[in-house]
């Protein structure tokens, strides 16, 4: 906490789109800056939910594992991680949503293809039906990703302790 929390709390409030110009300077125009902006949007909810989930692991379970001779790796993989999985998947769903939100502005600024670019081009040309179609496509793909992630979380292997 002493080392990483100040950096996390300092960087987390910066909107991912604020990084656009640096992303273009670092990665050029194309897919790389878009992925960078999407990653920044998705990162913070996933990271914060993961941290909270790991902190919510009952100390009694960790002590029981230690008293039974479990190694640190066994405690992590058999106690802490299963306990944190519900939080991790919640963070993944939230991160997926925020990352998905970043696609449109990232593509509007840094791309010459993609849904965000097509929506912007359709708006500039007054093709409101194409704007609506692009928005609907974003909604359907986002819904599909969310449903897929939810189904994955329901698999018995991924259920928390």
Confidence of residue 43 (pLDDT cuts 50, 70, 90): very high
Between 73 and 154, the higher pLDDT residue:
73
Do residues 111 and 30 touch, judged by C-beta distance below 8 A? yes
Best CA proximity match to 19, nearest among 36, 42, 44: 36
Q: Is the pLDDT of residue 161 over 60?
A: no
Q: What is the pTM of this model?
A: 0.74
pLDDT value at residue 72: 93
More confident residue, 30 or 129: 129
* Contact in structure between 160 and 148 (CB atoms under 8 Å): no
Over the range 100-125, which residues count as b (16 or more CB within 10 Å of their CB) and which as e? bbbbbbbbbbbbeebbbbbbbbbeee
Does residue 109 have a pLDDT over 50? Answer: yes
- Give 19-27 contacts, CB < 8 A, sequence gap 24+: 20/105, 20/106, 20/109, 20/110, 23/110, 24/109, 24/110
């Amino acid at each position: 906490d002493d080392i990483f929390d100040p950096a996390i709390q300092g960087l987390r409030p910066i909107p991912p789109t604020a990084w656009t110009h640096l992303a273009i300077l670092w990665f050029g125009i194309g897919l790389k800056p878009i992925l960078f902006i999407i990653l920044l949007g998705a990162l913070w909810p996933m990271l914060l939910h993961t941290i909270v989930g790991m902190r919510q692991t009952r100390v009694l379970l960790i002590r029981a594992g230690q008293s039974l001779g479990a190694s640190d790796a066994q405690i992590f993989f058999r106690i802490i991680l299963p306990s944190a999985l519900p939080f991790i998947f919640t963070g993944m769903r939230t991160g997926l949503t925020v990352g998905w939100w970043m696609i449109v502005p990232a593509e509007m600024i840094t791309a010459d293809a993609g849904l965000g670019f097509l929506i912007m081009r359709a708006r500039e040309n007054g093709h409101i039906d194409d704007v609506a179609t692009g928005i609907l496509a974003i909604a359907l793909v986002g819904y599909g990703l969310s449903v897929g992630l939810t189904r994955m979380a329901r698999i018995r292997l991924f259920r928390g302790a």
